[in-house]
Amino acid sequence: MARIKSVEVKVPAKVNLALKVGGIGADGYHPIETLFHAVGIYDTIVATPSSVLGLEFSGEGAQSLPLNNSNLAWKAAELIAEYAGVEPHVHLNIHKNIPIAGGMAGGSADAAGTLVACDALWQLNLTRDELMSLAAQLGSDISFPLVGGTAIGRGRGEDVTSLLTRGEIHWVFAVSAEGLSTPKIYKVFDEMNPNPVEPKIPTDLIAALTGGDIKTAAKMMVNDLQAPAISQRPVLARILQAGDHAGALHGIVSGSGPTCAFVARSHADAINIANELQVSGVVERTLIGAGPVKAAHVTEITYF
């Protein structure tokens, strides 16, 4: 077997087209029904052989991330090594484009990408089911980047089923420098919803997406964590308003926030909306991307 010198993996960000949340369970997690959607904003992971497990980050906000076993990517490398019965001898160099702690599952994407990268570097050839099972052990949002596209998530979010949709969605993301804590947002959700109901994605939203009617779909996008996120970061309401004024079809808070996601009519429209948001003064940074895109995948392998 030829020895591999490096593996490069690209892993996409996600936005929830719908995020419906139920009452907290005995395990401390909330049952959810969600529509995950992978967008073309990628973190890149380069895995190389090493005598010890190592981690480094570059890109926006990279210096704020832990470089030890409290990082999900580190945990992912340890978990797949243990499962496969090999030493976790890998150095991971992760370039970040996905906003950190932004509700776009950047940390989860890196963990999912690390599973794919280590599988290739160590030539393990694990099945998709094996990788999905490892992902579910690491956290709620780590399975979806292995599936990509648009998909229904149930349970804690780890139970993922692909949904075949038509049409491309052009997105503008308004990114904040400071994150929001997911557990805190779920806690505020509990306080705001003393009588939670069973979480259910609107069936009309699924019908619009499978029919390729993006305009109708956009209007039906919904996030039960939006009100809790706004209560913790009131400026998000003004950012959503600014997107509306800039001509977005619809705007929602992404996941547990604070990133706000806006649907545009086209790529050109997305650029205009991003520019308007930028001059509105309420938005720190914008990103543009289209979806759905495919799952975490190997983009390059080099050999010794």
Residues that bind ligand C5P (CB under 6 A): 28-30, 32, 139-141, 156-157, 182-183, 186
Cβ closest to ligand C5P, residue 156 vs residue 297: 156
What is the closest distance, in whole angstroms, from the C-beta atom of residue 238 to ligand C5P in the complex? 26
Encoding tokens for residue 256? 């547990």
Please identify which of the residues 110, 119, 141, 269 carries the catalytic annotation: 141
- CA distance from start to end of the chain: 11
- Catalytic annotation present for 141: yes
CB half-sphere exposure, 21, CA atoms < 13 A:
27
Please identify which of the residues 14, 20, 75, 96 carries the catalytic annotation: 14
CB half-sphere exposure, 165, CA atoms < 13 A:
29
Closest by CA position to 13, among listed 49, 46, 43: 43
What is the closest distance, in whole angstroms, from the C-beta atom of residue 189 to ligand C5P in the complex? 8
Cβ closest to ligand C5P, residue 16 vs residue 286: 16
> Kind of pairing, strands 260-264 and 169-175?
antiparallel
What is the closest distance, in whole angstroms, from the C-beta atom of residue 196 to ligand C5P in the complex? 12
Residues whose CB is less than 8 angstroms from the CB of residue 27 and which lie 6 or more positions away in sequence, other chains included: none
Cβ closest to ligand C5P, residue 146 vs residue 248: 146
Cβ closest to ligand C5P, residue 47 vs residue 142: 142
Distances (CA, A) of 303 to 1, 10, 177, 222, 300: 10, 19, 39, 46, 10
What is the closest distance, in whole angstroms, from the C-beta atom of residue 85 to ligand C5P in the complex? 26
Known catalytic residues? 14, 141
